[in-house]
Amino acid sequence: MSHSLRIAAVLLVCLVGQSVSAQRIGNSPYSQIGIGELYYPGYAPNFTMGGVGTAYANGIFINNINPALLTRNRSATFDIGFAGGWKQLRTQEASQRNLNLNLGYLAMAFPASRRWTMSLNLAPFSSVNYETASRGQVTGSNEPAQITYRGFNGLTAVSFNNGVSVYRKEDKDNRVLRELSVGLQTSYVFGPITKEAISRAGADSVLTNYYVAQVRRTNYSDFFFKPGIAYRQRVNDRAYLNLGATYDISRTLNGNRFRSIQYRTAADADSLATYGLDTVGVSTRLPATYQFGVSLEAPLHWAVAADVSFRRWSDLEGGDNLNFSLRNGITVGLGGEWTPNINSINNYFSRSTYRFGVNYAQMPLVSAEGEQLRDMSVRAGVFLPITPGDRRSLSYFNFGVALGQRGQIGAGLVRERYVNVVLGITINDFGWFLKPKID
C-alpha cells in the first residue's frame, strides 16, 4: 500500500468513531419534522457545483449521488470531508446566530474489475437540532410556567455502493465512444433521535429549581436501497454528453421508542430521577425521490451540469409530522467546473479546478397563506492539487462555500440566512493494484 493510502487508512480509523456523534448542523426549527433534516448525499465537488451529480463525475473524486457513475473511478480513491458554517435565524420577535463544524463523510472506492467499481461510505443521514421556548400558566393557579421543546441527535448511514458498466464501445485508441452503466446503493441507517418537552412551574421564582422533562428517545435501524443508471456518449473528439437518473425508493424506517419522565435541576442537566413509561415499536415512512441529470464535459478540462429531483413529502407517514401540512418538493441544481491545464508543470493554479453553481429547493412546509417555503443558494469552490509531483497519485484539497437563505419571517416561521463551508481531501492512487515487476 502506498504512503498516501496509508494516511487515508489512519484517518479512517481515527475518525470513524466520531462520525456517529458528529450530527449537529446548528439550531434549526425545521428539523422537528419526522427524522429531522436530511443531509445532502453528495461530497464537496458536487456541493460546490450547485448539488449536481446525477450525470456528472470526473473519475478523481467519489460520486455518492448516482452509484452507476462509480465506473468512472479507475483507481483506489479515498474521500474525507468536513462541513460547517455560520447561520442567522430570525423570527418576528427575535434573532439568533450560531456556528458549527462537523465531520461530513468518509468514503473509499476501488475497482473490482475493468468494468466494476465498489465503494464503502460513512456519512450522517439526518440531523435533529432545535430548541424553542414558550410561557403559560399552570391550570387552576396563578403560577407562571415555562416549557422548552428541544430535539437532538440524528441518524448515520453506512453505504455499500456498486457500479457496473453493462455496455461499452471504444475506438481503436481505447477511448469510450458510448457507455451504459448501472449501480445500486445499499445503506444501513441507524441511530437515536431524542425529543423533549421540559416544564418549569413558578418560572419567575428564584426558589423554583427543578424541571420536569417528558422524554422520547427513538432508536432507528433499517436498510435502504437506491438504484441508478447513467449513459455516456462522445459527441466530438473532446466532449461527452452524459445522462443519469436515480430512484430513492420509498421505504419504512423502523425503530423502538422509549418514553420517560425525568426530574432535573436544569433544563439540560442530568436526570435526578427517571421513571419509564413504555417502550413501543414505531415506524416512519420516508418519501420516494426521483432524480434526473444531464451534463456536457471535456474530461478533466471543463463541465456543465444540471439536476432536478422530485421528493414526495406528502407521502411522509409516522414520526412527528402530524401537526405539519407537507407538500411535495422540487430541487434544481446548476453548476460547472473548469481546469485550465491539468498537465501544467510550471503553473500550480492551472492544475487547479474551479467550480460554481446555484441551487433552488422547495421545502415541504407552507406558510399560513399557503405559500411553499424555499431554500436558495449560490456556491463556489476550488480543487487544489496536494501531490503534483507524483504521477501515480492525484490528491486534492477541496474547499467550497455556499451563501443562501431559506424559509421566511411570518407567523410561526423562521428565516435562516447561512454561509456553509465544506472542506475535503481526495486521495487517488493508481499504483495500489499494480503488480510489482522485477527486471
Domain that holds residue 257: 3-76+84-429
> Is residue 217, in this structure, part of any structural domain at all?
yes
Per-residue pLDDT of the chain (439 residues; tens, 9 = 90+): 444 434 333 333 333 333 333 334 456 778 888 888 889 999 999 999 999 999 999 999 999 999 999 999 998 999 999 998 898 888 777 788 888 888 889 999 999 999 999 999 999 999 998 888 777 665 555 667 778 889 999 999 999 999 999 999 988 878 889 999 999 999 999 999 999 988 876 655 544 567 889 999 999 999 999 999 999 999 998 899 999 999 998 888 999 999 999 988 877 777 888 888 889 998 888 889 999 999 999 998 999 999 999 998 888 877 665 556 788 999 999 999 999 998 888 888 998 999 999 999 998 888 777 788 999 999 999 999 986 555 445 789 999 999 999 988 876 678 899 999 999 999 987 655 444 555 4
CA distances from 421 to 240, 247, 338 (A): 31, 28, 20
Q: Provide Rg for the chain, Cα atoms.
A: 24
CATH number at residue 365: 2.40.160
Q: In whole angstroms, what is the distance from residue 378 CA to residue 18 CA?
A: 30
| Nearest alpha carbon to residue 353 among 271, 251, 424 | 424
> Is residue 439, in this structure, part of any structural domain at all?
no
CA–chain centroid gap for 231, Å, is 25
Tally the residues of the chain: 439
Domain count, the chain: 1
Q: In whole angstroms, what is the distance from residue 402 CA to residue 272 CA?
A: 43
> Is residue 436, in this structure, part of any structural domain at all?
no
Kindly report the backbone phi and psi dihedral angles of residue 348, in degrees, each rounded to the nearest multiple of 5, phi listed first.
-60, -40
> Is residue 120, in this structure, part of any structural domain at all?
yes
